[in-house]
Amino acid sequence: MLEPGLNPLSRRRLMIFASAAFVIAATAIVTAWGFQLIGGYMPCPLCLEQRVPYYAGIPLTLLAVWLASVGRVTGARLLLFAFAVVMAYGLYLGTYQAGAEWGFWPGPTDCAGADTSTRDAGSLLQTLNQTRVVSCTEPALRVFGLSFAGWNALVSALLVLIGLVGALGGRERT
């Protein structure tokens, strides 16, 4: 049931913002997986933590699109606001790691990850010799001057903006 006095343009606008948030967030997480699985760039623990806001936020955007499509604009706005808050945490994590990579502040002291899984004790030494430790303070790659964390901070900032404008903007009524 449509909310009383709802302007159809508000509903469509809200669907567009929620859909844009979904597409951008899904593209970002698929790109991260692509660099890991296809490109061979192993993520550090902080990199993996930066993915959590996407895992939480993407379902929120889908639910917001659905709520807007059935006329539940208030619920959709609340979900977009929650999405903005979740992505603000992602912005914090990306900024923190990017700043640590540039030496603006110290990074986490325990942030190094490696795949050390082995099937038997005989191959343990070989596994340890082949282990690549991934540091949170050394960027694996820079594209146009930004590391993965830097790009994540920018995308997260854009998603926060989209979520807030979608949730708080355009409250016109008929």
Q: Please state the rounded mean pLDDT for residues 84-108.
A: 88
Contact 106, 100 (CB under 8 A): yes
Looking at residue 163, its pLDDT comes to 96
Per 3-state DSSP, the chain is made up of helix, strand and coil in percentages (nearest 5) of 65, 5, 30
Q: Cβ contacts of residue 30 below 8 Å, gap of 6+? A: none
Domain assignments of the chain as residue spans, ordered by start: 8-108+139-168
Least confident of 111-125, 129-143, 147-161: 111-125
Predicted confidence at residue 114, as pLDDT, reads 47
Q: What is the CATH number of domain 8-108+139-168?
A: 1.20.1550
List phi, psi (to 5°) of 4.
-60, 140
Give the containing element (helix H, strand E) for 113. Answer: strand 112-113
Residue in the structure block whose two tokens are 């005989």: 122
pLDDT digits (tens, 9 = 90+) for 35-55: 889 888 888 888 889 999 999
